[in-house]
Structure 1
Amino acid sequence: MNAKPISPKMHGLIDYALVGSLLTLPSILGLKKTVRNTYAAEGLALLIYVALTDHPVAVKPLIPFPVHGKIDPFNVGQFALQSFLKPFRKDKKTLLFNLGFTALAGITVLLTDWNGPTKTSK
């Protein structure tokens, strides 16, 4: 039995939800335009990367799922580090959103079964 409860399919669905949150929540929360633009760019980049990863909900499975698993920690680290940038650090709402997003993404990475079934391994 695998101790990691998040399957590749669930990871892909969570990633799409995270993309959706990056593209919508900063505006709903009324975050500053520079922060909203940063999140929009990150969300679009993440959408392409997620859609092209080999998992059951992929659009075009080009990136092997284990490779996605090696890249994800760098993405999480990048979100953590941006907490120190002035537009994120100086606004409490922005900082809390960024820290929460980083935590959710990090927990998802830690709990994912990187060897589970993908779109091409069925």
Structure 2
Amino acid sequence: MASTLKSLFTTENGVSKPIDARTHGIIDYCHAGLFATVALLCWKKNRNAALTAAGTSAFILVQSLLTDYPLGKKRVIPFATHGAMDAGFAALSFAAPRLFGFSGTKAGLFFQSNSVLESTAVALTDWDSDHARAEEDR
């Protein structure tokens, strides 16, 4: 799976990705915190967005804790699989406002903007699992 992701997101001249496994982990935990904050901010005005953000925060946190990278705790999800999940999450984030009934709102715009940022993080991350393991061993 790592080679598939690498081929999708590596330029033809083999330019390496600037986001390593440790940095991606930091981004993940910040991402979970951001969605938890959005859930709190939306709670009174937009319950659907708040619940979707809370669920997203919980998903990102659990995924991060279970990923085999330097900041993971249980390490049952290979780093490359985490990347595939992130790519799917980027698409879901774009569709979430329509799916959960809050399109056309500020929260909906936040989720759609997150889709672009998530896609960028996926594209700029080095998903090579061996490299991720090497980062941990330093």
Query: TM-score of the superposition, structure 1-length normalised?
Result: 0.85
Taking a change above 3 Å as real, the CA distance of residues 85 and 117 of structure 1, as seen in their structure-2 partners, is closer
Match of 1:69 among 77, 80, 83: 83
- Map of 2:99 onto structure 1: 85
The answer to whether the 8 A contact 2:65-2:73 is kept is: yes
- Map of 1:118 onto structure 2: 133
Q: Pick the structure with greater CA Rg.
A: 2
CA distance in 2, matches of 1:55, 1:119: 10
CA distance in 2, matches of 1:31, 1:13: 30
Match of 1:104 among 117, 121, 134: 117
RMSD over aligned Cα atoms:
2.2
Write out the 4+ residue segments of structure 1 that deviate beyond 4 Å after TM superposition.
none
- Map of 2:57 onto structure 1: 43
Structure 2: 5+ residue stretches without partners:
1-13
> Which of 67-76 and 21-30 deviates more?
21-30
Query: TM-score of the superposition, structure 2-length normalised?
Result: 0.76
1:23 and 2:36 matched = yes
> Which of 99-108 and 111-120 deviates more?
111-120
1:12 and 2:25 matched = yes
Structure 1: 5+ residue stretches without partners:
none
- Map of 1:55 onto structure 2: 69
Paired positions, count: 121
Paired residue secondary structure (2:18)? coil
Q: State the shift of 1:88 in Å.
A: 2.5
CA distance in 2, matches of 1:5, 1:56: 16
Taking a change above 3 Å as real, the CA distance of residues 119 and 36 of structure 1, as seen in their structure-2 partners, is farther
Which one has the bigger helix percentage?
2
